[in-house]
Structure 1
Amino acid sequence: MRIPTPLPALSLTAVAALLLTGCFAPDGEASDSSSERLRVVMMQPPRSGLSPLSDDAFKLSRWSTAETLVTLDANGDPQPALATSWRASGDAAWTFTLRKGVTFHDGTPLTAADVVRSLTRAAQAAPKPRILDGVELTVTAQGDKVKVVTAAPDPLLPQRLSSPQLSILAAKAYRGKTVNPVGAGTGAFVLKKVNGTSSATLDRNGAYWGGRPEAPGIDVRFVPDGTARAAALRSGEADIVESVPVSQAAMLDEDQITEVPMPRTNTLYLNTERGAFVDPALRAAARGAIDAEALVKGVYEGRADVAEGLLGPAIPWAEQRAGRTEPAAPGKPDGKAITIGTFTDRAELPEVAAALQQQLQQAGFTVKLEVREYAAIEADALAGKFDAFILSRATVLDSGDPAAYLYSDFASDGSFNLSQLADPAVDKALGKATKAASGPERRAAILAAESAVLNADAALPMLHERVIQGDSPRVVGSAKDPRERLLVTPDTYVK
């Protein structure tokens, strides 16, 4: 069963070679060209020693070494993993039945006590994993079952437990002050060694409950420089490369790259509380002025998708949206002055801002740009000091559910309400969406809430981003996951 001032080009290649030559064999061992081990280059080095209670958890998940009670399918619905089934056992309680025959990488069997230990440690961590923000839970063992009780009813609890930050590890992982995942997972590959922020080594788990993995192991290198990552794939030094920059994609063969739609939307948030965009007609005028296709072609070199709504193609059911059902008629800007803010941390955003400035000025606005580092501009953006703000925003959080993003960004009491929106119709729709049971009912309520936000023109979605993954033509079965939870699976190998 499978669960699944720039340097010249030559100098950059040389730098990449120096960074990467001979780096894929485990330290102290010679490379074995016949071993068929997977050589993987990743963008971000570990920030917290690969603790699952941090964002490093997503590396453990992408290497198929640490696993959770449930996984998510393409629609974001929960599917069995270390738990085979679950049921609501009260308004705020869920009972999970554990899979039999699972052993940790240290040879100890998976028990309910192990699940209690892992989830309790996460619930009591400071800071908590973000998936548990605002969630209080207690976990108890009941034979081969685990009962999870939340302080308030939570229809998304199974989805929350799919977060890689809630991976289940063996007791040995918790013996120190920090959580150490080395040799403590249940997945298809055993994490054997971590060399600080430079590399990691994993070997096949021959006793994996889901069947024998195809590859004998994984040798990982962390290479933050995007040019060096692309060079590693181009030169044959790597089999799988994470996050190839758009600027490097054209230098690779088409059969080496895959563009994966991301649940991330580049959006122009309009300030509905003060300034020009208090007027719905001027918000509509801004909507009509934006040429998103030109942004995709010019800034993203065609490697993005024009937005039809706030939720993009990475969320399959979003195509069922109604969209704007009551669009306002556009007014005349008549030279109205507006200031648009954005930040430099994402290289494409200043370019998007410059292109938008031209488009809005052609429509009759007078446009000033203010561009800073994100840390220096976030407070002003949240305080509503700009008429508009350009943001690349993730539209699903760790639960795979967009309702939290919509509420955070557009509810009158939302914690990230850049639009300063206070619209009763939007609040009502968002309240219904956040309380709905998971499945078709919740998806329909989320799309209705999206329509309410779009009708208000509080945010103008422009494009949906893609991530570019590089694979050697010899690689079979690597995952192309919009949520970036999977990369190497039990079915991945080099032919």
Structure 2
Amino acid sequence: MRSLLAASVILSLLALTGCSAMPGAADAGAGRIDLVMLQPPRSGLNPLSDDAFKLSRWSTAETLVNLDAAGDPQPALATGWSQSDPLTWEFTIRRDVRFHDGTPLTAERAARSLRAAAAAAPKPRILDGVELTVTVKDDKVLVATATPDPLVPHRLSSPQLAILAEKAYQGRTVNPVGTGTGAFVLTKVDGTSGATLERNERYWGPKAKAAGIEVRFVPDGTARAAALRTGEADIVEAIPVSQAALLDSETITEVPMPRTNTLYLNTAKGAFKDPGLRAAARAAIDGKALVTGVYEGRADVAAGLLGPALPWSARRPARPATVEPAPANGTKITLATFTDRAELPEVAAVLRQQLEQAGFEVELVVREYAHIEADALEGAFDAFILSRATVLDSGDPVAYMVSDFSCEGSFNISQLCDERVDAALEEAARTPAGEERRRAILEAEATILNTGAAIPMLHERVLQGDARGVTGSAKDPRERILITTDTHAR
């Protein structure tokens, strides 16, 4: 049935385009991957938006740089790079690469994509606060920044900075259909329902084993799990914890995420302006009870802000308590969270019990995220539970720490302003990538935690489903890769 449907899709596309063939068309209906994803496109698969991560996970749009498991930059469409002066990086463009429309990749075309991203309004997140000037010299793309930036190669790994053919850029829109360089050609987008991709027979790397990909967007978690259980899907992302027990355990993989469930305490006003009461709250929180009771063991108790998705974070220095807990004595606090993540209201209920057992009097506030974010950022609550991504688009946690805990941070729910924290973050930000930077990041983490402004409780995992017979799918904590050239269903 699926083969007939896939074949009819290809025939329709050929009729509409007037083409007699397309990359991979001869294999349509055989060896295809049926993929079910959580969130439908929010911006019509505009690669300058968060939809870029879908294009990356389908191996259709590629960047100059990739990140390895440790978060270090590796060659992709750029074969290498160097820093020619404190402000300028030179990237050598890979030869013999063709876009899906047949045009060759050149340094000028790569620069065209980067300039479009830098000039976009709004800019891709990865370029917030960054001024890029992009020029070309021979087969090299020169990327200059207004101030020294040791993370330029990391930034260029963001899926939002994918390199597309010239025809992708028409007016104010960016169209990824048939304009990438990856192992699969995006041939059709069906609104928010699905997408179709075909194998790229001219791919510059190893040829994909699968003939194509059929994508469906299914926001309902129960329906996604059912698609795996009934054999309607080969690969399913983001299976809810509540559905895991209903599935064959051999079809589920738990992937540690760079996402921490954290309790933010308001340090500017109210009860938690007192460091002693912040220490009392920290002593009251039992992360293990949350992992076992709410997440059914499918999460990791937090030792810090950063978790097992960043293996090097386990090398953090010891952090002795600096403030003794003060007695709560019936202190009234407001504890808030949101409903958009199914587990958080339950986490809030458990935390309420834990804090009340420690002597606090707790008022619980739970709303949809769209209706609570502004209040949280303005410091309307004493405590706020947030599931927070700790590694943003650059693959480096400094941006998250600056956003959440610096005096000028744009997402500073704790209302924290501490000169020691700012100094530690500034040191981490200017340290070159590598082991030295990681040490500086862990020192900054310790400085933040010593303020008591945030209590990390657990690190989340994502459950990925692969039907029996499926091999080669990626289990990527950063959710940048999913379908690879090795992915296929037997």
Instruction: Indicate the TM-score class for this superposition, using the shorter chain for normalisation.
Output: over 0.9
Counterpart among 27, 30, 39 of residue 9 in structure 2:
27
Note if 1:202 corresponds to 2:203.
no
Counterpart among 244, 261, 275 of residue 249 in structure 1:
244
Counterpart among 292, 309, 330 of residue 325 in structure 2:
330
Note if 1:38 corresponds to 2:33.
yes
Counterpart among 379, 383, 400 of residue 378 in structure 2:
383
List runs of 5+ in structure 1 lacking aligned partners. 1-16
Tell me, what secondary structure is at the counterpart of 1:60? helix
Q: Deviations over 1:402-435 (max 9, x none)?
A: 0011111111221111111122221111111111
Which AA in structure 2 matches 1:155? P
Which AA in structure 1 matches 2:120? A
Deviates more, 1:261-270 or 1:273-282: 273-282
Match of 1:86 in 2: 81
Whole-Å separation in 2 of the counterparts to 1:482 and 1:25: 34
Counterpart among 340, 347, 362 of residue 367 in structure 1:
362
Equivalent positions of 1:399-418 (< 5 A) are 399-418=394-413
Q: Residue 327 of structure 1: CA displacement?
A: 3.1
Counterpart among 261, 265, 269 of residue 264 in structure 2:
269
Q: Residue 325 of structure 1: CA displacement?
A: 3.5
Q: Is the 8 A contact 1:323 1:454 kept in 2?
A: no
Whole-Å separation in 2 of the counterparts to 1:456 and 1:224: 38
Tell me, what secondary structure is at the counterpart of 2:445? helix
Q: Residue 33 of structure 1: CA displacement?
A: 10
Rate the CA distance shift 1:26–1:467 in 2: closer, same or farther, 3 A: farther
Q: Residue 21 of structure 1: CA displacement?
A: 11
Deviates more, 1:467-476 or 1:382-391: 382-391
Whole-Å separation in 1 of the counterparts to 2:3 and 2:272: 55
Whole-Å separation in 1 of the counterparts to 2:194 and 2:369: 29
List runs of 5+ in structure 2 lacking aligned partners. 13-26
Tell me, what secondary structure is at the counterpart of 1:236? coil
Whole-Å separation in 2 of the counterparts to 1:461 and 1:252: 30
Q: Residue 177 of structure 1: CA displacement?
A: 3.4
Q: Residue 138 of structure 1: CA displacement?
A: 1.3
Q: Residue 50 of structure 1: CA displacement?
A: 1.3
* TM-score, normalised via structure 1 length: 0.93
Counterpart among 425, 429, 443 of residue 424 in structure 2:
429
Tell me, what secondary structure is at the counterpart of 1:89? strand
Equivalent positions of 1:134-145 (< 5 A) are 134-145=129-140
Note if 1:73 corresponds to 2:68.
yes
Match of 1:103 in 2: 98
Tell me, what secondary structure is at the counterpart of 2:372? helix
Q: Is the 8 A contact 2:99 2:180 kept in 1?
A: yes
Which AA in structure 1 matches 2:115? T
Rate the CA distance shift 1:221–1:22 in 2: closer, same or farther, 3 A: farther
Rate the CA distance shift 1:297–1:54 in 2: closer, same or farther, 3 A: same
Match of 2:52 in 1: 57
Q: Residue 27 of structure 1: CA displacement?
A: 2.3
Which AA in structure 2 matches 1:404? A
May I ask how many residue pairs the two structures share in their alignment? 477
Q: Residue 326 of structure 1: CA displacement?
A: 4.2
Q: Residue 201 of structure 1: CA displacement?
A: 1.2
Q: Deviations over 1:345-394 (max 9, x none)?
A: 21211111110010111111111111122222222211212111111111
Which AA in structure 1 matches 2:45? L
Whole-Å separation in 2 of the counterparts to 1:193 and 1:52: 15
Which AA in structure 1 matches 2:9? D
Counterpart among 227, 232, 239 of residue 227 in structure 2:
232
Tell me, what secondary structure is at the counterpart of 1:405? helix
Across the aligned residues of Structure 1 and Structure 2, the Cα RMSD in angstroms comes to 1.9
* TM-score, normalised via structure 2 length: 0.94
Which AA in structure 2 matches 1:82? L
Counterpart among 383, 388, 394 of residue 393 in structure 1:
388
Match of 1:116 in 2: 111
Q: Residue 212 of structure 1: CA displacement?
A: 1.3
